Structure 1
Amino acid sequence: MQPVQIVDLFAGPGGLDVAAEKLGLATVGVEWDSAACATRHAAGLATIEDDVRRYGPAFFPDADVLAGGPPCQTFTVAGNGAGRRALDDVLAFVDRMVAREDREEIAKDLSKLEDERTGLVLEPLRWALEAIDDLDKPYRAIVLEQVPAVLPVWEAYAEALRSEGYSVNCGLLRTEAYGVPQTRKRAVLVARMGSEPVKLPAPTHRTYRKGISRDSGDIRLEPWRTMEDVLNRDSPFLVISNYGTGGEPKARGRRGSWEPSATVTGKISRNRVVSVDGVEMDRFSFSEAGRLQTFPTDYPWSGQDVGQQIGNAVPPRLAIHVLCAEFGWEPPTDALNNLGTWMSKSATGVDRTKSYASRMPAMASA
């Protein structure tokens, strides 16, 4: 499969778009957070700064691939839990949407959820069904990712999309199994129109286990990558984090630079970095935090809450593997090896320093 353009919903600072551009694919992202859009604009990524709910497939007639990572705050363990509490309601909304119940009634009922952000997880399905019903032009492929708690929603999506003629696969992926120097789990869905089976990407690296050598495990896979592999610090260090500890000092997690990073969150600037003998060192810069997510070293992080932008993003290296699995490609070594820099021109030949306004569909400015 050779895509024409990917429309990326809730595109954030550009994790999936960076991967797509490195693969030579055109992208356009829809993102409402002004800080993330500042980064996207600085990176030269085609962007509509607005609410996904105000748009639909008709605004992006060239896009034949739908991607998205809806906001996770209400589903993540670190969030308020409204999404997890509303899970049964969300699954019921999936059934109602597939049954083609009145869209306005569904939107009205979604507005009654405890946290309106919970309903955003249903936007990719709305777009997929509108492409079928309103345009008679189904997306050729769909790629979605979210925190593990959203997997039941993706499983409901899978059944819904199969009923519309898609081949679908979904499951949990561990980022370090794809060469990301960080342990992080993501719920991923890939779908392709037609009966040809679509698979999740096969692991390329071993999974991390505390206290187990990186040389142990399946010899067919590469060792997991470490923080030292991507950061240019002069000496070994320890990262001390209170993520997931409830603030309990004795429970704070520790990772050595010879291990993968723990999950990079929006609070990464709070992590202490110390030498192996306990001397305080500089905390991670935005560039370093981005590199732990496999963003290019020179990626132009901009705007406010950069730490949150980085923590919310999908790692580009993982996205390369997911996109290649979706399209039936072998992950190209040059794309994986070329994530270290963000060149002035994209792989599609577009000058990233120029405005993308002229490339936007006319309706998109509405």
Structure 2
Amino acid sequence: MLYKFIDLFAGIGGIRLAFEPYGECVFSCEWDLKAQETYEANFGEKPVGDIRSVDEKEVPDHDILLAGFPCQPFSIAGVSKKKSLGREHGFLDETQGTLFFDIARIIKEKQPKAFLLENVKNLRSHDKGKTFKIIKKVLEEELGYTVYADVLNAKGLVPQNRERIYIVGFKKPLKFDFPEIPKEGPALHEILEKDVEDKYTLSDKLWDYLQAYKEKHSKKGNGFGYGLADLNSYSRTLSARYYKDGSEILIPQGEGINPRRLTPRECARLQGFPETFKIVVSNTAAYKQFGNSVAVPVVRLIAEKMVQAIERDETIEDTVEEGRVEYATT
């Protein structure tokens, strides 16, 4: 069976790539103009802009909702006012003004069979755990989905230490297990280009600064500073700030030669994008885009597991009070 899915907070389409073998993307949304350029170059469509201006009723019907949404604190402003007026309020009200609210209102209107949300690992502890708690309650109690969440590290599939939280939900109480990610993965040297332009090598000035900065902080007993990568292992996490100086992942080039930063193509490989993926923006924009993206092979395994769960159609037997499904997390 082929599934219709939508791609919210789409970035450059990493999550979409993972789901394309299982169906058709019928709607995409991404506000960043440079990311829209990359997305259009690779998928032939320009995403809609600001999700806050999207009418949920006009979103096409779909089976699976995908969203790598930003992490924001939830304000409870207005809740006490509603109480004082004798009005009922729900957790959904508490999320107004945040981008998660826009996901929730689309789910509420369109009732997809399943969804996948992706976020930084720290979503669980964000705002002393309140953010995650409200998200969970909205998805389970108000929207009626069976929810699973886990933090997965991509380093068994790509040569990068990258932990992210994935939240999977089903309209039916389906059994679901997250994929097992291998403990050992490819080595960093396997994704490096053979001939790299000199412009990627750090200048003497920048290299001297990074070394002095690291030395200053090491004397204070903390680990701030650049990261010289082990080419036979995996790198640190690629971030959106990589364009600034590349300091978190520096590639050694031998005695007497300054290290270099990764090329945009190497960043694409570090995130598991195919060689055919087109990079049509400046290096600065490309670094931001790949740093903000997902590790595609991880999402590909989750997509496979989600589709299997839908097609197997096995439901959970264990329920908690009031008929709610046990929230599964590790």
TM-score scaled by length of structure 1: 0.65
The gaps in structure 2 that reach 5 residues or longer are 216-223, 310-330
For residues 168 and 3 of structure 1, the distance between their equivalents in structure 2, rounded to whole angstroms, comes to 23
**Residue 327 and residue 267 in structure 1: after superposition, are their counterparts in 2 closer, same or farther (change >3 A)?**
same
Higher percent of residues as helix:
2
Residue 174 (1) aligns with residue 139 (2) = no
2:290 pairs with 1:310: yes
Summarize the Cα distance change of 1:326–1:47 in structure 2 as closer, same or farther, 3 Å threshold. farther
Q: Which of 178, 197, 215 is residue 175 of structure 2 equivalent to? A: 197
1:126 and 1:149 mapped to 2: Cα distance? 24
Paired residue for 2:229, among 248, 252, 255?
Answer: 255
Change (3 A) 1:57 1:200: farther
Per the alignment, residue 144 of structure 1 pairs with 117
Cα shift at 1:106: 7.0
Instruction: Supply the distance in 2 between the matched residues of 1:202 and 1:286 (Cα, whole angstroms).
Output: 29
Letter in 2 for 1:248: Y
Find the aligned partners of 2:299 and 2:256 in 1 and give their Cα distance: 36
Q: What is the CA deviation profile of residues 46-66 of structure 1, one whole-angstrom value per residue up to 9, with x for unaligned ones?
A: 442311111144323232211
Deviates more, 1:254-263 or 1:154-163: 154-163
> Secondary structure in 2 aligned to 1:275?
coil
How much has 1:141 moved relative to structure 2?
0.4
Note if contact 1:171-1:188 (Cα within 8 Å) is conserved in structure 2.
yes
Residue of structure 2 in register with 1:230 after alignment = 191
SS at the partner of 1:176? helix
In structure 1, the partner of 2:304 is 324
Runs of 5+ in structure 1 lacking a partner? 73-82, 111-118, 132-137, 207-222, 330-366
Task: Tell me if 1:292 matches 2:266.
Answer: no
Indicate conservation of the 8 Å contact 1:31/1:49, yes or no: yes
* Structure showing greater relative contact order (alpha-carbon pairs closer than 8 Å, 6 or more residues apart): 1
Query: What SS does the aligned partner of 1:161 have?
Result: helix
- Greater CA radius of gyration, 1 or 2? 2
1:157 counterpart (135, 156, 173): 135
The equivalent position to 2:101 in structure 1, one of 106, 118, 122, is: 122
Residues of 2 paired with 1:146 and 1:89: CA distance?
Answer: 22
Instruction: Find the counterpart in structure 2 of residue 42 from structure 1.
Output: 41
Judged with a 3 Å threshold, the aligned counterparts in structure 2 of structure 1 residues 87 and 149 are, in CA distance, closer, same or farther, namely: farther
Q: Which amino acid aligns with 1:226?
A: A
Answer yes or no: is the 8 Å Cα contact 1:294–1:316 preserved in 2: yes
Closer/same/farther in 2, CA of residues 161 and 288 from structure 1, 3 Å limit = same
In the other structure, the counterpart of 1:64 is 63
TM-score by length of 2: 0.71
CA distance in 2, matches of 1:328, 1:6: 16
- CA distance in 2 between partners of 1:148 and 1:31 (Å): 22
Distance 1:154 1:202 in 2: 23
Identity of aligned residues (%): 23
| Contact kept? 1:273, 1:281, Cα under 8 Å | yes
Aligned residues: 271
Shift of 1:292: 0.5
* Mapped contact 1:68–1:143 kept (Cα < 8 A): yes
Distance 1:275 1:126, change over 3 A: same
Distance in 2 (alpha carbons) for counterparts of 1:168 and 1:199: 11
Instruction: Find the residue that maps to 1:256 and give its secondary structure.
Output: coil
Whether 1:274 and 2:249 are equivalent positions in the alignment is no
The amino acid across from 1:140 in the alignment is: K
Query: Runs of 4 or more off by more than 6 Å in structure 1?
Result: 239-242
Distance between the aligned counterparts of 1:61 and 1:157, measured in 2?
A: 24
Partner of 1:218: none
Deviation readout 1:234-287 (Å, 9 max, x if unpaired): 79xxx9999xx9x93234323211111211112334224322435235532211
CA 1:201–1:159: 2 relative to 1, 3 Å:
farther
Cα distance in structure 2, aligned partners of 1:197 and 1:130: 24
Question: Once superposed, what is the RMSD of the aligned Cα atoms?
Answer: 3.4
